[in-house]
Structure 1
């Protein structure tokens, strides 16, 4: 086998190993989201937690903007907002700039439930990285940033000392 063939095989093996680890990361993330959603409110669909997290991070918005931001269709987002309203976690108010439209926002109880669920996520995350060095945390953050940058495959930066 030529040197190029060995390098190609080595790269392919590394890419496959990366794929395995990314699948494991996505699976762990989904499982943690399910647990977080149950902490948020066991009576609403897990996707509703995604909507509530967005409202927590960005504040009141009209339902169509929320749907666009969380990459869900408007009818699904409206159904989730109805669930959240029925649970007392979200409220609707008239849009101050357009009296025909409404804005949705978290109620104080909704914001508190999001904080509780995010605390669970943070605890689970920090438990996994508690023994990591600051340099390793920075390296992973930088590589993930490069991997997820728009267009994918951004510039890989050298490790920081």
Structure 2
């Protein structure tokens, strides 16, 4: 085996290992998100909590933006938002720029329940990174930013 073949074989092997680790991460994140969603409100589907988490992170927005940002169809978002409104987790408000437009936002109850539910997720991830020093944590964050295409500097 020549040097180029060895590099290609090693690179392929490393890419497969990366794929395995990314799959493990996605799987564990999904399982944890389902668990956290049930903690938020067991009567709701996890997809409803996905909308809540988006509103918690990014603030008020229109239903169409929420559907696009969460990769859900508008009818599903509409149905889930209706449930969230009935449970008083989400409210509709007039858009500050265009009074005819409607924005969705979390109520105080929705924000509080989200904070409580996310504490469990924070604990799970904190346990995983607790033995890393600050340099390792910073390196991991930088690598994820780069991988996710967020490091545009």
The two structures have a TM-score, normalised by structure 2, of: 0.90
- Alignment of 1:91 with 2:91, yes or no, is yes
Q: Output one character per residue of 1:128-155: Cα deviation in whole Å (capped at 9) or x when no partner.
A: 11111212111111111111106xxx79
Give 4+ residue runs of structure 1 displaced > 6 Å after superposition.
Answer: none
* Aligned mates of 1:131, 1:89 — CA distance in 2: 36
Moved more, 26-35 or 60-69: 60-69
Q: Output one character per residue of 1:50-94: Cα deviation in whole Å (capped at 9) or x when no partner.
A: 111111122222211211222221111111101111222111234
Question: Paired residue for 1:121?
Answer: 121
Q: How much has 1:123 moved relative to structure 2?
A: 0.9
Question: Paired residue for 2:31?
Answer: 31
Q: How much has 1:96 moved relative to structure 2?
A: 4.7
* Aligned mates of 2:22, 2:65 — CA distance in 1: 30
Question: Paired residue for 1:149?
Answer: 149
Q: Structure 2: 5+ residue runs without aligned partners?
A: none
Question: Paired residue for 2:106?
Answer: 106
* Aligned mates of 1:114, 1:12 — CA distance in 2: 41
* Aligned mates of 2:100, 2:67 — CA distance in 1: 18
Residues 8-23 of structure 1: pairs in structure 2 closer than 5 A: 8-23=8-23
Distance 1:20 1:108, change over 3 A: same
Aligned-residue RMSD, C-alpha: 1.8
Moved more, 96-105 or 39-48: 96-105
Q: How many residues align?
A: 152
- Alignment of 1:63 with 2:69, yes or no, is no
